[in-house]
Chains A and B, each alone.
Chain A
Amino acid sequence: MTTVERADEAVRPGDWLRERLSNALSEFTAAAALIVLFVALSFASPHFLTADNLFNIGAQTAVIAIIATAQTMVIITKGIDLSVGSVAALAGVVGAMTVRDLGFSVWTATLVAIVIGALAGLVNGLLVTAARIPPFIATLGMMSAARGLVFIITGAVGVYGLPESFQLLGNGEIAGIPFAIVLTGLVAIGIAFLLSQTQFGQYTYAMGSNLEAARRSGISVGRHLTTVYVIAGVLVGLGGMIAASRVNSGQPNYGIALELDVIAAAVIGGASLFGGQGRIIGTLIGAFLIALVRNGAVLLDISIHVQMVIVGLIIWAAVYFDQYRRRRLESRG
């Protein structure tokens, strides 16, 4: 048979650049917004560009970034995890209690917090895969259940009286660099590598993009999806422990509405709620942007209530942008 050359469906070489740009478009946009906000805050507040404040933003970014990384993995699979705030609080509180009541070292306590996060992730994953409950509802239930557990085990009272060493993860330093930032870097590099370079990452994107195609390709999607939720839980547990360490106590109220910040961070960075898209570099930029908004609002004396409105607007804008991008792509095909 002969191949017939047809001009109307020919390869379009000029698309290479467009393809590259389109891939990184949300990341560029987010980075631009980040720079604009950074410069604006530098002019708006004399306290912004101080070493203390920048370190503070770094540490604040760390927790959001680690948990947003977890959220990004779940969002790539076309899921969502609403339970991150409650699970982080549970992990932090239990970690603090093991130090106070059982005399665990901060390292062992961190391990316990991570295991708590992993267990919560396992339950989320099994609810989604085995019980076939949609991720939104499965993790909504976990959000309530984990928060309830936090109040039950603490009696709704913060866990105080911790040794100085408990502050290591949140306020400690390695060679002058905050420990939390080092941990964030390690987590981000590790997960970015996992997602972009391994078979596991490939399957994660594939499942979010077309679950049925992934299943018919012989991928055991149930086991794989559960693993994604477990890894996300591990990161949430670690994030919760860092957050507790920053305030040197286990706070039962920690992380209420944290899911909004991290979902916003992921979506701003280009993760698509329709699944199949999202990169850790974008999520880091998004997390930094959210931390800046929070920090700037405090410096400029904008009330916490106005901050909530701002975060809401940011989420709308980011999701609208994602929709718009999808529609344009589809109308081309």
Chain B
Amino acid sequence: MSTTSRPEPTTEPTDAGAGVPVLEARGIVKRFGHVEALRGADFTVHKAEVVALIGDNGAGKSTLIKTLSGVHAPDEGEIRVNGRPVRFSTPVDARQAGVETVYQDLAVADDLTVAANLYLGREILRSGPLGRLGLLDKRAMRRGATEALSQLGVRVPRVTTPIAMLSGGQRQSVAVARAIIWATNVVILDEPTAALGVVQTERVLDVVRRARDAGMSVVLVSHNMPQVLEVADRVEVLRLGRRAARFQADQATTDDLVAAMTGARATQTEEP
């Protein structure tokens, strides 16, 4: 079992990283016709850590993410949540198991307000017979949204602002916050900062750190090596559909990561 070490050990529970992984994939195989996108891929996420998943284009990152979030069913292999084997046939299954995913561009409905987006698909209804008619309790949702966003340090003009009127960074922060609010186990972020500027990126990463510090596990898919080393606790490298290497972020360099991604050198700082 791995031991995590973080820049700020005081903020983490003492047993973080030990024990049963929150999310674990073992020997995942996924074929599309004759193409084998995943060839026995393993992946591990422990409680309250940020794990970066990196790999060259075509290494199988997106396929692995989609398998973990219920979009694709694996052909072989096993996924475990808190040690229990699970089968995700739809994204809803994954969400019910506490695994939330933020996809790069598909995250939010632009015309809906911030609050409506946070509660999309999980609206609070009025109590009693009005609720059974599908009547929304908008006030409760506004209150809940305001509270949740302030806890995560996401700043928006108002929770009644339509998403279309937010900046790119605010929009992405709302999408990430939405996943964090509902996830009970793991949040998967697929290139959450790819389209953002430096300042906006930093805001999103702040939200990720806050979630981690509050005990959430985060999977971060990214191409940006400095960013990976800055925000992640651990890094797992995927190459040719398999896990090629694992690193502690504070013991790795960009060169190590690139080497592992391209297969130049089989460096592994940790292996069970």
Closest to B90 in A: A218
Docked CA distance A24–B156 (Å): 21
Query: Would A1 and B103 count as touching, CB distance under 8 A?
Result: no
Closest to B103 in A: A216
- Interface membership of A303, Cβ < 8 A: no
Would you call the interface of chain A mostly helix, strand, loop, or mixed? helix
When A199-B134, A333-B164, A333-B168 are in contact, do A9 and B108 touch as well, CB less than 8 Å?
no
Which residues of chain B come closer than 8 Å to A19, judged between CB atoms?
157-158, 161-162, 165
**Count, chain B residues at interface, CB 8 A:** 48
Query: Would B136 and A198 count as touching, CB distance under 8 A?
Result: yes
User: Which stretch, A121-129, A130-138, A167-175, A203-211, touches the partner chain B?
Assistant: A203-211
Query: Would A11 and B133 count as touching, CB distance under 8 A?
Result: no
The distance from the CB of A21 to the nearest CB of chain B, in whole angstroms, is 12
- Interface membership of A200, Cβ < 8 A: yes
- Interface membership of A155, Cβ < 8 A: no
Query: Would A10 and B155 count as touching, CB distance under 8 A?
Result: yes
**Count, chain A residues at interface, CB 8 A:** 39
- Interface membership of B44, Cβ < 8 A: no
Would you list which residues of chain B between 91 and 136 have a CB under 8 Å from chain A? 91-92, 95, 101, 103, 106-112, 116, 120-123, 125, 133-136
Query: Would A11 and B156 count as touching, CB distance under 8 A?
Result: yes
Query: Would B116 and A202 count as touching, CB distance under 8 A?
Result: yes
Docked CA distance A3–B155 (Å): 11
Closest to B166 in A: A333
- Interface membership of B57, Cβ < 8 A: no
Closest to B101 in A: A216
Which residues of chain A come closer than 8 Å to B138, judged between CB atoms?
197
Candidate in B108, B121, B136, B162 with the most chain A CB atoms within 10 angstroms: B121
Q: Which residues of A pack against B, CB within 8 Å?
A: 1, 3-4, 6, 8-13, 15-16, 19, 22-23, 197-200, 202, 205-206, 208-210, 212-214, 216-219, 275-277, 329-330, 332-333
What are some 26 contacts across the A-B interface (CB < 8 A)? A1-B210, A3-B153, A4-B202, A8-B199, A9-B155, A9-B169, A9-B200, A10-B155, A11-B155, A13-B157, A19-B161, A198-B133, A199-B123, A200-B134, A205-B112, A205-B116, A206-B116, A210-B110, A213-B107, A213-B109, A214-B120, A214-B121, A217-B121, A330-B164, A333-B164, A333-B168
Q: Which 9 A-B pairs have the closest CB atoms?
A: A276-B111, A217-B121, A209-B109, A209-B111, A198-B134, A1-B209, A210-B109, A199-B134, A218-B121
5 additional contacts (CB under 8 A) given A9-B170, A200-B134: A4-B206, A16-B157, A216-B101, A217-B121, A276-B109
